Amino acid sequence: MSHRSKAYSEIITNAEGTLRRVLSVPDNYSILFMQGGGTGEFAATYLNLFASKSVREKQSKLGRQLRCDYLITGTWSKGGLKEVTRLGAIPNVVFNGIESSDKDHGSAIAYTSLPPVSEWNLGKPEETAYVYYCENETIHGLETPSSLVLDAVDPSVPVICDMSSSMLSHPVDVSRFGAIIAGAQKNMGPAGVTIVIVRKDLLERDESDKDAIQRLPSVLDWCYFDKAGSMPNTPPTFAIYVCGLVFKWVETQGGVSALERLRKARADLVYNTIDAHPDFFSGPVDKRYRSAMNLVFNLPTPELEAEFIARAAKCNMIQLKGHRSLGGIRV
């Protein structure tokens, strides 16, 4: 099927429309189907925001390069910070995990909790292009409540959130974000398509400012994709088709509020068991910020963890081994 055919045009249009209904996306936001995953959007976020008319005007008024605020809560937010630093950003680390004491190794950075908002080092609004955070860190099992970030950040500063592993798992007030980025492969469909929901004023460009997009590849250009209806080239057609089916399924289940109840019920099954047997199970993450999507915990010894994983596999529960950088169990 040609992606330029009427049949496929209906597929992508329906997918966008259903997602807009499911998440109650306001009319002043564009929904884009892109490629490159969350990792591609690390770069796209920085390059597109610094190409936008509003950010460039703010920077011109300041007289120097704006900074980018990054909340570092685990591996993926660290990846975003590393990428924009490589591209020439001047990052401001709002916080980097929490300090943890270990009797064998002394103080170390741990991604098991969040510092109090009073200790956050947010940049001055007039000096900040945007604030970035990852809502759910899949490796460390830490989930940052969006309300905590949105309430702390000055409304004049766009908040950019990576929801790759939490999209469609709970209601979202899209109107409070500058942009939401999400690789589809966790909750929405096959790998290959990336969802970007971006406020339209951030897509505005000064056409006379030729330097604005000099370093922005077309394949990462939100404005370019928006003007072409997400199809400036051949899109990941099958992945978008499957996403459209998933969006419809979410709608038939009662929407994201129904899925939020389901994810809580599933998470409670595991966490209640862990909490009821503290001598055998240990969960490293602060209970206030434990992920309801990726649940991590440990058993007393690596040998018991290996046995747990083997027995789980016999019950058709596979891939429960924690990430190679942390070990333990991840559900």
Catalytic residue flag (residue 76): yes
Q: Which of 69, 76, 78, 222 is catalytic?
A: 76
Catalytic residue among 58, 186, 221, 222: 186
Cα–Cα distance, 161 to 170 (Å, whole number): 14
Gap between the terminal Cα atoms of the chain: 38
Reply yes or no on whether 103 is catalytic.
Answer: no
Do the beta carbons of residue 192 and residue 164 sit within 8 Å? Answer: no
Q: What are phi and psi of 102, to 5 degrees?
A: -130, 130
DSSP SS3 for 162: strand
| Token pair for 223 | 């404005």
Q: How far apart are CA 189 and CA 322, in angstroms?
A: 23
Q: How far apart are CA 163 and CA 225, in angstroms?
A: 20
Query: Can 162 be counted among the known catalytic residues?
Result: yes
How far lies 281's CA from each of 81, 278, 294, 308, in Å? 33, 5, 16, 11
Catalytic residue, from 58, 69, 78, 162: name it. 162
Report yes or no: 70 and 94 within 8 Å, Cβ to Cβ: yes
**Which element (helix H / strand E) includes 31?**
strand 29-34
Q: How many residues does the chain have?
A: 331
Strand locations in 54-97 (E) = 67-72, 90-96
Instruction: Identify the three-state secondary structure at position 190.
Output: coil
Please, are residues 30 and 179 in contact by the beta-carbon 8 Å criterion? no
User: 92 with 71: CB under 8 angstroms?
Assistant: no
So which residues are the catalytic ones?
76, 162, 186
